Every structure is written in structure tokens, then in C-alpha cells.
Amino acid sequence: MRPNNSTKLAFSPLPNRSRARAMQPSSDNANKPQRDFEHVRDSMHSAISMNKTEVIDTVLNDFSEKFLVLGEEAQSAGHEEDGVLGSFYRIERNLRHALKPMYEGLFERLNMHPGGLKVLTSLRADILSILAEENIASLRALDSYLKEKLGTWLSPAALELHQITWDDPASLLEKIVAYEAVHPISNLLDLKRRLGVGRRCFGYLHAAIPGEPLIFIEVALLKNVAQTIQEVLWDDPPIPECEATCALFYSISSTQRGLAGINLGKFLIKRVITLVKRDMPHISTFATISPIPGFIQWLLSKLASQSKLAEVNDISQSSADRSGSAFRENILEPEEEKALMDLSEEFVAGKNGMERMLNLLTSKNHEWSNFAPLLSILKTPLLRLCARYLLQEKKRGKALDSVANFHLQNGAMIERINWMADRSENGLHQSAGIMVNYVYRLENIEEYAQSYFSTGQIHASDDVCRYVEPLNEHQPATDKRG
Amino acid sequence: MRPNNSTKLAFSPLPNRSRARAMQPSSDNANKPQRDFEHVRDSMHSAISMNKTEVIDTVLNDFSEKFLVLGEEAQSAGHEEDGVLGSFYRIERNLRHALKPMYEGLFERLNMHPGGLKVLTSLRADILSILAEENIASLRALDSYLKEKLGTWLSPAALELHQITWDDPASLLEKIVAYEAVHPISNLLDLKRRLGVGRRCFGYLHAAIPGEPLIFIEVALLKNVAQTIQEVLWDDPPIPECEATCALFYSISSTQRGLAGINLGKFLIKRVITLVKRDMPHISTFATISPIPGFIQWLLSKLASQSKLAEVNDISQSSADRSGSAFRENILEPEEEKALMDLSEEFVAGKNGMERMLNLLTSKNHEWSNFAPLLSILKTPLLRLCARYLLQEKKRGKALDSVANFHLQNGAMIERINWMADRSENGLHQSAGIMVNYVYRLENIEEYAQSYFSTGQIHASDDVCRYVEPLNEHQPATDKRG
């Protein structure tokens, strides 16, 4: 709680560091209040000027704490106000109001109105689906404005963590069934299991959108970090909760298309970990079994372009200077190439290993996944390429894969890559059935989040790193590009 | 729930009614979708253009409902977008961003940060206390900006109604004790009574400021509408709840100085009534026993200025044309004037009745309230002037008294004015011990709120109206000035 004495701080909207410095007296000891004030002012300036890739939580915490305990000693910074300044502020304000789009009025009034935020969310969902078909400038401007507003109105700090149980209203549980995007819930029994013994489900709720979590996370209490989603979804019966040592996050779904691009999941993992840890101190491992939604899409485009380049090279150049093309790269190892080319044409056609791999992966109904010899040929290159995708493929300096980016920015590390971990249609389609375990080590969460934020560094276990650096001595995969 | 088919609505930020009208086809029957669309568009325009004195809730509800059920039939309104418009929107956006004050960054980041809203609230409390001492233009600009932001972040629609009970954390109950502004809670036993049998306490909580209601309301379950606060605070033991027919709101306190001027109480009374009614259908009367915080302040300044005018008139003018001063008014009735002037000088000095009343009311320790003859002389004029203050004294067309304004805009009516209803130091100081019962009649709430909003009309019982119009036949007090 803040002390009762009111803090005297004349905030000036114009930075006036030089003047404030000039005021600083020479005697250092006698001026602790002045130093405190300067400290608060500096952390305030940091909080304003830091860019979005930096971790401002610590700075904001520091500012908040120090501001609240600033005593009466802090001196007013003095001010040179007069009528001119007064009208300056008035003009600035009027200009700001004149620039408000007409729809701002509607948005603000709906925000104040019961049910209004839900309407705005639906509205944005509609806008997004129109924009997906056609790029309309006015609509894009509207969308960007609405997104900004929704982002401040649905601040993660205003979301409430709620444990969802079988005792919750059916109208809420129905939403869980409808929105579970990762591992669809097949029936009521399936839902009941996910809320029963050995399972937890937590949702982020906002008071203005009642009865409907904006995002929810499903947790399994296990003895070990699961290697496949099948054992999580179908291990009947679950183990007694007192024997569990691991809390496995196996599904995170956001429910509102209209909130796309707004980071609601911030703090979610951290808060769930705190909650689980408090109730069950014997849980020591916090991990996920996560999809890799962008892996196959990335791989197919890589295979297509590289097998095309390889073909062109074969025709136009002597074999002696094949390496001439700077973009060319055989993403397969020689023995993988050989194994694929040794396959009979009746299984798969293709002039090189990459083309054959492409053809196998795009075969109807993922036939390759039902035939043991093909599985064993594809396993090594797919796991290796998946590790490369997760560890090295970046977009603006951050992990290309959206789920990887989510967990890494929350402070997780990549622990293990699992073969045939999700045999569902969707799992085979998006990541050739591969899934990944991210692990949250309580002692490292802050540090990892911070280094990922500032330099894009991805922390991974030795086993995972070995996939991409098989010949060198092991070193943690670090990427400071971007 | 909204239907799955996405609604195609190209919102243009520029009004284009004429074009939309031109598109409207002639056949009326075949174009229900077009009519639906126009209806939604019209209610959208109303919601944007209505001014603050109008009741927009109905319009917003209408817009929301109709918008959510607009089917795919609604036609895209067409658009004439091109590169020029695109760069127009970009320039507009850049200008808007350039006009954002530097502190906006800090405010928005704090809003997103756990605990940040509390810091901003404390910050505004500090700003307000500085502004109370000195009017600084930059600080005023900062305050108005921060107030606007806090208003949208702490929207009433995002507040959660929570019944506060003895089972709540002590840290929360401590806040109730600290913030109870109307009838201070003397000790833990007093608090326990206010949360016990025959009592209710509800608070509005915001997820981002946990454990601290932003506003709370105390309710007593009684057989009749109480006439004094003493019987509410000290009727030991309370009646059995099943015998109660009246829910009496006897205290509403807001807890954050930094949220002054932000209407958090919206919907509060309505939601509490709904809740109480649901749990206890036998409760049929919803009323308040409320302070009149501005009465004595208004009365003293009226008495001072009028007794001065009367004095000047006595000296400078012949008694024949005393009525010449347009501002002059004896706010006392002749028999009241006489009773005051008949008092011995040892009780009170003063050249006329108004000056004597002024001197009595400002006597040390409210001595007048302990002496029966004085009480009986003052009772009639004070009750009459209090009714006048409540019914007729306006500010910008609304009740001058802040508590009256709060209840009237919520749809209450003024039911009864009670003599010696609050004998506490504070009660005598602010309203000469008078309190008022506002009554919420469920069937009239919407209508009364609406007419008060739009015309400033104050609804009052016949008994209360009679105070100010004793000679005319009764008619409801209506005031359309302002």
C-alpha cells in the first residue's frame, strides 16, 4: 500500500533532463530524496523509451515500487507555466480530438457497455475475414485502430485465471469443446476426462466477456514428460495425482478470432505454474507437448525450391562446379539421399532425394506413415530438419514457428523432439507427426525469456542441439542475426 | 451466440449515407436484408452522434443485437479504395501517433502490467492533490489525458460485482474499514455486523486491481424504510431475513481518490437490486437512506448573501420599495422569521432571521442540536429549504447535490426527507442532520433515468413536493431549465 502522504511530483510532458540535472546539488549524502526522485525519473524514461523487443516488466516493476514509496521529501521540479503553454496544450488536445476517427466514439461507447467488448471482438473477426479476401485501405486502417484499442482494453493484467472444472456451467464448457483447436474434444466423456483426476484446465477470463475464456490451457499430471500426445489423451486410467512429478501443458487454445495478434497469453504459463506449484509442491517438472504448426509448410517449400535448383544445376553445369549456386543446398545428408534414391519407383518417383521426400510427404492420406520401411528412412532426416527449423529458422530475429516463439518468449527451452508423437490427420499434416517438448525450468524462466527477447537466443537441450551440429563438439545453439 | 457465417460489412470511416441511399433498390419486400443493414447502420450513427446527456444504452443494445444477427445476406457496401486513400490513412495515423504525448507510452505499458493500473490511480491522486493547490497547465493536460485513459480501462462493463462477506480475506475487509466514507466503521465488531444477518455488502472489483473494491455499497434488510441512520447502524439484533420486505442502501463509498470524476457506479444499483431480488423475492422495496453532502454549504452561502442584501436594503432604501433588488429574497417564511427574531439575544445574535439562522447553524459543536426549543424552531425552515435544495437547485440542468445526482441518474425518486436522521458530527455538519430516502421502483427505473438524463426532471413523492409548493395544488416538480 502506498503511504498516505501525497507525493509531490510535477510531471512535465516535455523532457527536461538538463534542467533537472542543473538542479542537482553537489553534496551527495544530504540528497537521498533527490537521488530517489532521479532514480524514479530514470526508470520512467526507460519504460517509455525501451523498444518492444526489450523486457520492460522489470523496469515497470522497479518504477512502480519506487514511485509508490517516494516520500514527501521529493521536490517539485519547478515549472515555467503560463497562458501560452496552457493554450498550447489546448490546441494539442483539440488537434488530437479532431484526428479521432468517427468510429472511435462507437468503439469507446461499446467498451463501456455490457456485452460491448464481445461485439467489438466479433466485428474485428468479420473485418479480418474480409481483409483476408481483399486488401481495402480504409478497412485496414479500421482494423489497426480496433486492434490497438482491443489490446489496451483486454490487457493481460486485467485477465483472471480461472480453473475450469466439471462444476462450471455447461455454457462455458461448451465453449471449451467448441474452441479446443489443438486436440479436438470428441465428446462429453472426453471433456470430462480432461477436467477429471490427473488433469487440469485453466482459462483466462475477462469480466466484460463473461462465461467465455479468451484463452485456455490444458494440463496433464504425469510421472514423466510424455513423448506422444496419444498417451496424454488416452492413458486410461490416469495415475494417482500424488504420484505425479510432472505437469504437462498439452494444449493452449485461444477462442476469439477477433483477438488475433493480441498477446493474451502473457503471464498465463507463469501464473499456471505458480498455481499448480502451490497446490502440488511435489510437481517439479513443467513441460509441454507442443505441435510444430509451421514445420511441414516450411519443409515443403524448402524441398521444392532446392530440388528445382538441383535439377537446373544438373542440366546447365558440369558436375565439377555444381557448388557454384550460392542458394543451392542439399538439405539431405548423403546417406539419406542414398536411402531415398534406393527406393523402388513403385513406392515413389523423383529425380533426387529432395523431390522424392517431397512426393512422399504430400502423398494422399499420408501413406508413408503407415509403411514401416518408409518411416524408418524418413525418421532421421525429418527429425534433423525439424530441429533445424526450430533452432535456426527465424523471422525478424525470432523463431519462425509461432508456437516455438510463444514458449521461448515465455522463458522455456527446447528439451526434446519426438517422433510419431501425433498420428492424427492434423499432426501428420503440419509436422509429419513430430511434436516437441518445451520445458520451463523455474530457475531459468526469467533469464531465458530475457535473452530470447533481446538477442533471439534459443535455449535447447544437448540432445536437440546435436541434431543440427552432429560433427562439431556440442555448443548451445545461439543465433544473433536479426 | 453469433452465427458462424461471417458478416460482410465494409465499414467506411467517412460517412457515406448518400451513396448508400442511392444503392437502395425500389422493391421493398425483396430487400429485408438491405433494410436490416440500414437499421444497423442507423443505430450505429445514433450511438456515435448522441450527446452525453442522452441515454445511449438502449441504442447500443439495439446496435449490438442487430449487428450480431446480420446474416451473410447483407451486401458489401462497395468501396472506392486506391493508393491515394491508403497513404491518406497512413498520414492520418502517423499524425495521430505524433500527437501522442510521451507519457502515453508509460501509461499504456503500465496498463498492460500487473499492478500498473493501481500505480496509475495513485499517480492521478497525487496529480489531483497538487492541482488542488496550484493550477498548472501541463499538469492539467496530463490529468485530463490520464482521466480519459483510466475511464476506458476501468469501464463499468469490466467491473465484477462481488458480495463481500466475513469469509473474505482480512486484507480486503481492512480496505472496507479504511474506505467507508459515509458512516465510519468503528471496530471489527461493527464491521462484522455490517456483513452479518440482515445485512449485505457488495463491491465492484476490477481484475487488474485485485483485493480492493473500487466502490462498495452496504445494504440493510428491514421491515420498513428507515427514517434515521441510527436505527440502521444500531438496531441490535436485526430482524430475521425472511421477515424483511425492504432492502435499504445505507452507504456507498468509492475507494480511490485517483478515480474521481470517473463514473464507476453505473449499473451498480441496478445489478445489486437484481441480485437481491433473485435471492430474496419477498423484498419488494428498494430504497436508500442517503446523506445530503452539499446542503449546509449551499444554505450557509445563501443565508450569508441574502442577510447581507437584506441589511444593505434596510439601510439604503425606504421600506416601501425593498423589493427593488432583483436578487433579494427572504428565504424564510414570515412565521419562521418571527420565531427566530423572538429568540432571546442570549441564545443567538443577528439583525434578521437569516443572519440568526446562519449563526445558529455555525455555532460551536452544533449546540443548536442539543436544545429542544431551537430544534423545533429550525425544523420547519430547514426541512423546507432542504427540499428546495434537492428539487430545485441545479448545476448544468442536473441536481446540484452529488448524491442526489447519482441516484436520480440511476432512476430513483426522492421519497422522504427525514429530520434528525444522522446526529453524527459529520451528519450535523453537512446537512443539519437531515437525510433523504431515495426509492427505486423497479417499474419506473428506466423511465425516470431517461427523463432525468434528457430534461433534468426530478421525480419526487407528493410529501416532498409539498414542501416547496405549499400553496399551489400539487404538481410533480419539474425543471426544464439548463
Q: Which helix (H) or strand (E) holds A110?
A: helix A103-112
Q: Residue A35 contacts by C-beta under 8 Å, 6 or more apart in sequence? A: A28
Q: Which residue, B117, B138, B153, sits at the end of a domain?
A: B153
Q: Residue B217 contacts by C-beta under 8 Å, 6 or more apart in sequence? A: B201, B202, B203, B249, B251, B252, B268, B269, B272
CA A153, CA A430: separation in Å to the nearest integer? 34
Q: Domain for residue B475, yes or no? A: no
- The C-alpha cell 420486505 sits at B245
User: Do residues A327 and A452 share a domain?
Assistant: yes
User: Are A247 and A276 a contacting pair, CB within 8 Å?
Assistant: yes
How many domains, chain A? 4
User: Do residues A55 and A115 share a domain?
Assistant: no
Query: Residue A248 pairs with which residues in a beta bridge?
Result: A220, A287
At A364, the amino acid letter reads K
User: Are A112 and B57 a contacting pair, CB within 8 Å?
Assistant: no
| Residue B121 pLDDT exceeds 80 | yes
Residue A237 burial (C-beta neighbours within 10 Å; 0-12, 13-18, 19+): exposed
pLDDT in tens, A48-60: 777 655 667 777 8
C-alpha separations of A419 from A228, A331, B178 in Å: 8, 19, 60
| Residue A159 pLDDT exceeds 70 | yes
- In chain A, residues with a C-beta closer than 8 Å to the C-beta of B152 are 108, 111-112, 152-153
Strands of B193-235 (E only): list them: 199-205, 215-222
- Chain-chain contact of A8 with B68 (C-beta, under 8 angstroms): no
- Chain-chain contact of A102 with B127 (C-beta, under 8 angstroms): no
CA A254, CA A203: separation in Å to the nearest integer? 10
Query: Residue B285 pairs with which residues in a beta bridge?
Result: B246
Residue B318 burial (C-beta neighbours within 10 Å; 0-12, 13-18, 19+): exposed
| Residue A27 pLDDT exceeds 80 | no
The set of cell numbers assigned to B27 is: 422493391
User: Are B414 and B464 a contacting pair, CB within 8 Å?
Assistant: yes
Q: Domain for residue A194, yes or no? A: yes
User: Hey, of A8, A109, A134, A257, which one would you mutate to test binding to chain B, going by the most B CBs within 10 A of its CB?
Assistant: A109
User: Do residues B169 and B264 share a domain?
Assistant: yes
User: Are A50 and A63 a contacting pair, CB within 8 Å?
Assistant: no
- In chain A, residues with a C-beta closer than 8 Å to the C-beta of B271 are none
| Residue A479 pLDDT exceeds 60 | no
User: Hey, of A110, A143, A205, A268, which one would you mutate to test binding to chain B, going by the most B CBs within 10 A of its CB?
Assistant: A110
User: Do residues A40 and A162 share a domain?
Assistant: no
- Chain-chain contact of A138 with B81 (C-beta, under 8 angstroms): yes
- pLDDT above 70 coverage of chain B, percent: 84
Q: Domain for residue B95, yes or no? A: no
- Chain-chain contact of B136 with A11 (C-beta, under 8 angstroms): no
Q: What's the average model confidence in pLDDT over B330-348?
A: 89
Q: Can you give the pLDDT at residue A317?
A: 55
CA B247, CA B283: separation in Å to the nearest integer? 7
| Number of residues assigned to chain B | 482
**Min Cα–Cα distance to chain A from B337, Å:** 47
- In chain B, residues with a C-beta closer than 8 Å to the C-beta of A81 are 136-138
User: Do residues B161 and B140 share a domain?
Assistant: no
**Least confident piece of the model among A77-81, A235-239, B267-271, B443-447:** A77-81
CA B67, CA B55: separation in Å to the nearest integer? 20
User: Do residues B399 and B314 share a domain?
Assistant: yes
Question: Smallest Cβ distance to A126: which of B6, B119, B156?
Answer: B6
DSSP state letters, A358-407: HHHHTSGGGGGGG-HHHHHHHHHHHHHHHHHHHHH-EETTEESSHHHHHH
Q: Domain for residue A475, yes or no? A: no
User: Do residues B443 and B376 share a domain?
Assistant: yes
Q: Can you give the pLDDT at residue B81?
A: 52
Closest chain A CA to residue B10 = A139
Domain that holds residue B346: 295-468
Closest chain B CA to residue A106 = B48
CATH label of the domain that carries residue A235: 3.40.630.150
Q: Can you give the pLDDT at residue A22?
A: 37
- In chain B, residues with a C-beta closer than 8 Å to the C-beta of A65 are none
- Chain-chain contact of A116 with B64 (C-beta, under 8 angstroms): yes
- In chain A, residues with a C-beta closer than 8 Å to the C-beta of B8 are 126, 130
User: Do residues A76 and A116 share a domain?
Assistant: no
Q: Which residue, B245, B269, B288, sits at the end of a domain?
A: B288
Closest chain B CA to residue A67 = B119
**Min Cα–Cα distance to chain B from A3, Å:** 10
Q: Which residue, B288, B311, B344, sits at the end of a domain?
A: B288
**Residues A49, A55, A59, A64, CA torsion sign:** positive
Q: Can you give the pLDDT at residue B61?
A: 80
**Min Cα–Cα distance to chain A from B248, Å:** 26
- Chain-chain contact of A111 with B157 (C-beta, under 8 angstroms): yes
DSSP 8-state symbol, B236: S
Closest chain B CA to residue A118 = B64
- pLDDT above 70 coverage of chain A, percent: 84
**Min Cα–Cα distance to chain B from A65, Å:** 9
CB atoms within 10 A of CB A127: 23
- In chain A, residues with a C-beta closer than 8 Å to the C-beta of B60 are 109-110, 113, 116
| Number of residues assigned to chain A | 482
Question: Smallest Cβ distance to B109: which of A2, A60, A114?
Answer: A60
**Min Cα–Cα distance to chain A from B349, Å:** 42
pLDDT in tens, B144-180: 999 999 999 998 889 999 999 999 999 999 999 999 8
Q: Domain for residue A182, yes or no? A: yes
Residue of A417 and A326 predicted with greater confidence? A417
User: Do residues B181 and B129 share a domain?
Assistant: no
User: Hey, of A8, A11, A104, A206, which one would you mutate to test binding to chain B, going by the most B CBs within 10 A of its CB?
Assistant: A11
**Min Cα–Cα distance to chain A from B128, Å:** 10
User: Are A431 and A412 a contacting pair, CB within 8 Å?
Assistant: no
Q: Can you give the pLDDT at residue B471?
A: 54
User: Does ipTM surpass 0.85 in this model?
Assistant: no
User: Do residues A189 and A329 share a domain?
Assistant: no
Identity of the highest mean pLDDT range in A79-83, B344-348, B373-377: B373-377
| Residue B343 pLDDT exceeds 70 | yes
| Residue B6 pLDDT exceeds 70 | no
Q: Domain for residue A479, yes or no? A: no
Q: Which helix (H) or strand (E) holds A340?
A: helix A334-342
Residue of B59 and B252 predicted with greater confidence? B252
CB burial string B406-415: b at 16+ within 10 A, e below: bbbbbbbbbb
Q: What's the average model confidence in pLDDT over A336-347?
A: 88
- Chain-chain contact of B48 with A105 (C-beta, under 8 angstroms): yes
Question: Smallest Cβ distance to A206: which of B48, B158, B266?
Answer: B158
The number of C-beta contacts closer than 8 angstroms across A and B is: 234
pLDDT in tens, B247-280: 999 999 989 999 998 888 878 998 999 999 999 9
User: Do residues B136 and B161 share a domain?
Assistant: no
Closest chain A CA to residue B142 = A13
- Chain-chain contact of B136 with A103 (C-beta, under 8 angstroms): no
Considering chain B, what is the average pLDDT of its residues? 83
Banded pLDDT at B78 (limits 50, 70, 90): very low
Question: Smallest Cβ distance to B152: which of A14, A141, A153?
Answer: A153
Q: Domain for residue B93, yes or no? A: no
- Chain-chain contact of B89 with A140 (C-beta, under 8 angstroms): yes
- Tell me the angle at which helices A372-392 and A353-361 cross, rounded to the nearest 10 degrees: 100
Question: Smallest Cβ distance to A129: which of B6, B67, B68?
Answer: B6
- Chain-chain contact of B110 with A6 (C-beta, under 8 angstroms): no
| Residue tagged active-site, from B369, B407, B431, B459 | B407
User: Do residues B127 and B72 share a domain?
Assistant: no
Q: What's the average model confidence in pLDDT over B282-305?
A: 96
Helix (H, G, I), strand (E, B) or coil at B109: helix
**Min Cα–Cα distance to chain B from A126, Å:** 6
Q: Domain for residue A306, yes or no? A: yes
